[in-house]
Amino acid sequence: MRRHRNAKIVATLGPSSTSREEIRALFLAGADVFRLNFSHGAHEEHRARYDVIRALEKEFRRPIAILQDLQGPKIRIGRFKDGPIRLERGQRFRLELKAKEGDEGMAPLPHPEIFAALSAGTVILLDDGKLRLEVREHGTDWAETEVVVGGPLSDRKGVNVPGITMPISPLTDKDRTDLEFGLKLGVDWVALSFVQRPEDIAEVQSLVKRRAAVMAKIEKPAALKTLGRIVELCDGIMVARGDLGVELAPEEVPGRQKEIIRACRLAGKPVIVATQMLDSMVNSPTPTRAEASDVATAIYDGADAVMLSAESAAGHYPVESVEFMSRIIARTEQDPTYRPIITALHPEPEATAPDAISAAASQVAHTVGAAAIVTYTTSGSTAIRAARERPEVSILTLTAKRETARRLALLWGAHCVVTADVTSFQEMVQKACKIAVAEDFAKPGDKIVVTAGVPFGTPGATNVLRIAWIER
């Protein structure tokens, strides 16, 4: 089950991908990580999908990561008494905290935190940014606005307030219930929505308690102000371009995407690029050329993974979407310009033995023409350091901890195998060679580069590098 590419694919499960046969087809097509979107579906539906994924893991003896995506706060207007209305440019429109129903001149907004953050001139976006209001006057429970961009408006449309850090936790009561359910179930990653500040990551980390890896979804411009600290506190990042693009001008999103990927590369944190990557494939069997270019751009930038949302969850061509994404990744990584681009950003190793060994492994593999880098890891940190170097060869990761192998299924270039810890140098080399051949990474006569830590099985103790030959 070796993938002949380094970047990974995250596939969202939903109505189009619920049965064992459908999920199995997505895995065979190239999905490395499955996303359970807790904005939709009951717990038992997610449990059933989880069980299918774990059964596939046993069938193919390949670790698969499961990503729980929490819904986060949903800020919406209320309902209208007589159905949808239409806002015209220049008209006055009032928002009220306590109103029960709206009309042509007013809408309920049952979110006191919004009113607490307003000031004169504040921009309020409605319905994914399609309508734009500007605050003229406001109080603790009301706001008089002027319509800058009008259009139709109906019940329960979303509200965004760009440029303001909202005084609100990213975890709702629903999220806390969903989180505990997911952790008990055994998810490998937890994606946190509505991240605005480093404290949001600290809050969820205190609840997760290392039972899963925590991923911050960058979908609020406020998070960009403290991006470095957010990257430092979390275990991975998702560039949620759809929501980010509501509050940012569309022309700003590509640059911000590159900024986030760069920050993750330098910090050695996995990063997913998400939202609308092959959006036309919800209804079409092939992507547009622009979408293919979009996926390729994320790969050239060095993203660890790219994600399918509606394409695999609710589209008419879920398997084809994964197949096309896999083909685009593989072709991009084979492009002659890929290697110079991907190595242009080269993170400096920290002054530690593990970083020095990981950096040396990439260089040695290049110099001796090794077929693969084999890393022994307990916590996963050795594999993450190796991936940060973006070596020319794949990273065969050997670990005794199944949870580590599953989390690393998201990592660029990592092919994870669960195996018992070694106890001697001889066993270290023999096992590395045997598994490299068995997993189709090397053949007799090839060289491999092996890294490990002594004492064996000690987390974070990588201090050994060995060149090994596969016996003929």
DSSP letters of 390-445? --SS-EEEEES-HHHHHHGGGSTTEEEEE-PPP-SHHHHHHHHHHHHHHTTS--TT
What's the CATH fold of domain 8-72+169-333? TIM Barrel (3.20.20)
What CATH number belongs to 353-469? Answer: 3.40.1380.20
pLDDT at 457: 72
| b/e map 56-84, b = 16+ CB within 10 Å | bbeeeebbbbbbbbbbbbebbbbebeeee
pLDDT at 163: 80
pLDDT at 366: 95
Architecture of domain 79-160: Beta Barrel (2.40)
pLDDT at 146: 98
pLDDT at 275: 93
pLDDT at 44: 97
C-alpha gyration radius of the chain: 24
Distance, CA of 214 to CA of 237 (rounded, Å): 9
Based on the residue annotation, tell me whether 385 is a catalytic residue of this protein: no
Strand duo 92-96 + 142-149: pairing: antiparallel
Catalytic residue (one of 20, 24, 76, 447): 76
Catalytic residue (one of 49, 197, 217, 388): 217
Polymer length in residues for the chain: 472
Domains in the chain: boundaries: 8-72+169-333, 79-160, 353-469
pLDDT at 147: 98
Based on the residue annotation, tell me whether 217 is a catalytic residue of this protein: yes
pLDDT at 12: 98
Distance, CA of 71 to CA of 69 (rounded, Å): 7
Q: What angle do CA 435, 441, 445 make, to 5 degrees?
A: 90
Calculate the CA dihedral of residues 75, 77, 78, 82 and round it to 10 degrees.
-160
Question: What pLDDT digit, counting tens, does each position of 445-460 carry?
Answer: 999 999 998 888 777 7
pLDDT at 426: 92
> Block means of pLDDT (10 residues each) for the chain, length 472 residues?
94 97 98 97 97 97 97 95 96 96 96 93 95 96 97 96 89 97 98 96 96 97 95 97 90 96 95 97 98 98 97 98 98 97 86 89 96 95 94 96 98 97 92 96 96 81 91 84
pLDDT at 350: 82
Q: How many percent of the chain have pLDDT more than 90?
A: 90
Question: What pLDDT digit, counting tens, does each position of 294-339 carry?
Answer: 999 999 999 999 999 999 999 999 999 999 999 999 999 999 999 9
pLDDT at 411: 98
Catalytic residue (one of 12, 145, 275, 375): 275
pLDDT at 294: 97
Catalytic residue (one of 35, 265, 385, 388): 35
Three-class secondary structure of residue 243 per DSSP: helix
**pTM metric for this prediction:** 0.94
pLDDT at 167: 86
Based on the residue annotation, tell me whether 76 is a catalytic residue of this protein: yes
Based on the residue annotation, tell me whether 35 is a catalytic residue of this protein: yes
Q: Do domains 8-72+169-333 and 353-469 have the same CATH topology?
A: no
pLDDT at 151: 97
